[in-house]
Structure 1
């Protein structure tokens, strides 16, 4: 019941980080039917390529042994030699077919997922020895689904084999009167035809099972709302902390900006809502924006300017335009050169008169 409640709480789609962590732990979507299908493909390919040569080699070896069996001594050394030779001959005959099957099994595993090395599945876990967890694995929903899939697979494959053999019933009746040399090729042809039918059925089963395994794996990775919040905090940081950091960065930026106001040549205002501090010296390419702000920041800029006797010029259109188009520590845009030049010219003339 606890597991069902937990699954019901997992209502959120898994994040990419959650999926990646599952793969790193070795939890991937894997279908046994895909592996079975490729093993059957390897077996069928071995029949097509190596069945004839393997049968001939086995026949020659067995004939040679039977013809010379009377020459084998009954002492332990001779028996060991004969046994070892027989085992090595058997391995040599079966090497090529087994090679096809092993390669096919490797391809079946590789096609489902790239090679992965992890020690997570080998780590001791309590649920592996827990009686409740064991009972759940045996009598749970997944166990019943696997049981139903197994029955359906046996039924479908059995029907397919019966259809193939029923179509060959006349040939099967003739096998009893067939010569041994002709019997083996006939059996091989029938076996390959039978494997072709089985492979066609298993191809459909494997594709359907892989889709089902992929779906159940994705559902297993779903997250609760709390897990989603915790992951967001771990990856993106606590929202409250981030807001505090943004506030501190903004305060430091304002402090650095206010420290530059005393260097300004003129302050252009709205007069109450906007304030832009500009600096211009002889030989400078274009006026530079040292500070800008609205409302409270604009008021602070004007206070600092008043303390350092920096001229303040009211020009609402120019103040709004500069605030919208220029950033702090950047030169003003070309389209404002003339208007700003008139203001700075006025300020410089005013300074000369005071001097």
Structure 2
């Protein structure tokens, strides 16, 4: 029955159906696009701000472990020091956190826009149906998700292997560097690796975005009868409107005939 219904849904979704779906929070989404944007902007921010954050946090830890004894034995003084250090750490991390928050908001905005709906927060018991779950698992959507997961595992493995091989000499030399220098060097390599990984994931996102748009339109397709019913709801029954127009023409003709003798 579901297959027959799906075969009958050959009509593109109307503007009203798309609008109703959006009100319910049903818009095209790409998790791969969201992940790519978040990882790309975060890695760039880490490359730019990482050294400054690491220096500040290192100094904060150094001063934190050298708290005077008189402050340790007084709870109120210790709390004051901890609150002060927490504020300093928050200030150091604030720019990076701001970039990650903005990146997390840009993903949904780039595809589908922001669509908040309370209906999507309501529990849906149909999602617990094992039959529907198996249907989704073996559907086109499930197959695409499986292919993407395999591709992402391969990409991560290739990027990690390539970065380790490319910077193998520098990684080995870090064991001879001072602690601070090795930490800064390692942070830079991590940021660079995340940047390369985000660029690789952009390839998957470039394929996933068109698929999600197409799949969203496919899920909202309508049967011919649904299109007719919606037209009746919005414009009225065509038969009734035709009858009204016919009656209006008859009334106009009678008036014309009545006006002829007067002329």
> TM class, shorter-chain normalised?
0.7 to 0.9
Correspondence 1:188-203 to 2 at 5 A: 188-203=187-202
CA contact (8 A) 1:22 1:28 kept: yes
Residue 81 of structure 1 deviates from its aligned partner by 4.0
Correspondence 1:279-290 to 2 at 5 A: none
SS of the equivalent of 2:233 reads helix
Q: 1:247 to 1:108 in 2, by over 3 A?
A: same
- Give the equivalent residue in structure 1 for 2:110: 111
Q: Which has the higher contact order (CA 8 A, sep 6+)?
A: 2
- Between the aligned partners of 1:124 and 1:180, the Cα distance in structure 2 is 51
CA contact (8 A) 1:28 1:217 kept: yes
- Between the aligned partners of 2:99 and 2:74, the Cα distance in structure 1 is 39
Greater mean deviation of Cα atoms: 66-75 or 55-64? 66-75
Q: 1:195 to 1:131 in 2, by over 3 A?
A: closer
Residue 67 of structure 1 deviates from its aligned partner by 2.5
Residue 78 of structure 1 deviates from its aligned partner by 4.8
TM-score, structure 2 normalization: 0.88
- Between the aligned partners of 1:55 and 1:124, the Cα distance in structure 2 is 44
Q: 1:3 to 1:75 in 2, by over 3 A?
A: farther
List gaps (5 residues or longer) in structure 1.
265-355
Greater mean deviation of Cα atoms: 58-67 or 125-134? 125-134
List gaps (5 residues or longer) in structure 2.
none
- Give the equivalent residue in structure 1 for 2:55: 56
- Give the equivalent residue in structure 2 for 1:327: none
Correspondence 1:289-308 to 2 at 5 A: none
Residue 71 of structure 1 deviates from its aligned partner by 4.3
Correspondence 1:125-164 to 2 at 5 A: 125-137=124-136, 139-141=137-139, 142-164=141-163
- Between the aligned partners of 1:122 and 1:195, the Cα distance in structure 2 is 33
SS of the equivalent of 2:28 reads coil
Would you tell me which structure has more helix in proportion to its own residues?
A: 2
CA contact (8 A) 2:53 2:92 kept: yes
- Between the aligned partners of 1:256 and 1:46, the Cα distance in structure 2 is 79
| 2:28 aligned with 1:10 | no
- Give the equivalent residue in structure 1 for 2:64: 65
Residue 70 of structure 1 deviates from its aligned partner by 4.0
Corresponding pairs, count: 262
Would you tell me which structure has more strand in proportion to its own residues?
A: 1
